[in-house]
Structure 1
Amino acid sequence: MAEKRIIKCPNCGVFNTNKEYCTNCNTLISHQKKRELKADIVKQNEIDKVIHERENPNLTERLKKHPNILYKITGWILYSAFTIVSIIGAGLAWFIAMVAAG
């Protein structure tokens, strides 16, 4: 037996039975449908973010792929410097955590 749902439209106040959209003003009233639409929007935003990151690499990545050898060397030096600074920072954070732990 199907479940009977009576939902009041937040826009016009008309009560609707087993409908996803209001029969009077065509406003979306189904909570399940709203959740599905919101999940689709979030998924599309994540896809757009990844596409943007792939199409617009950072400075070091662009320099590492540059055809001019001087720019390429500069890109690798910057990349190496960022990597070394990150390793030093991670080691320092680990050392401080170990000292604090006793």
Structure 2
Amino acid sequence: MSEKRIIKCPNCGVFNTNKEYCTNCNTLISHQKKRELKEQDSKQQRVEEAIYEKENPKLAERLKKHPFFLYRIAGWILYSAIMVVSAIGAGLAWFIAMIAAG
């Protein structure tokens, strides 16, 4: 038994039965189709972000892979400095949270 879905088009006001698009103005009216399209857009955006990150690495990562050894050393020093500063920041955040918790 198929269920009848009657949806009013928000654009032109025509009532449509079991349609994804309005028969009058061709506006997308199916909520399920809207969710599917939004999910596809979200997946595509995550893929594009991953491709961008892969093709455009950070400065320290580029320097660590540089063919000239002095640049590689500078890259490792920069990377290590970033890690140390991050560890100190995380420790301070933990310490402040412990003080605030009592």
State TM-score, norm by structure 1. Answer: 0.91
Gaps of 5+ in 1: none
Deviation for aligned residue 1:97: 2.5
Corresponding residue for residue 64 of structure 1: 64
**CA deviation map 1:17-53 (0-9, x unaligned):** 1111111222211111011101110111111111111
Q: Does 1:74 align with 2:74?
A: yes
How many residue pairs get matched? 102
Q: Percent identity?
A: 76
Return closer, same or farther for 1:9/1:101 CA change in 2, 3 Å cut-off: closer
Deviation for aligned residue 1:96: 2.5
For 1:73 and 1:28, the matched residues in 2 are separated by: 56
Gaps of 5+ in 2: none
**CA deviation map 1:40-81 (0-9, x unaligned):** 101111111111111100000000000011111000000111
The DSSP-based 3-state class of the residue aligned with 1:38 is helix
For 1:25 and 1:91, the matched residues in 2 are separated by: 59
1:77 corresponds to which letter in structure 2? I
Corresponding residue for residue 6 of structure 1: 6
For 1:10 and 1:92, the matched residues in 2 are separated by: 53
For 1:93 and 1:23, the matched residues in 2 are separated by: 57
For 2:53 and 2:32, the matched residues in 1 are separated by: 32
The DSSP-based 3-state class of the residue aligned with 2:25 is coil
For 1:85 and 1:18, the matched residues in 2 are separated by: 58
State TM-score, norm by structure 2. Answer: 0.91
Deviation for aligned residue 1:94: 2.1
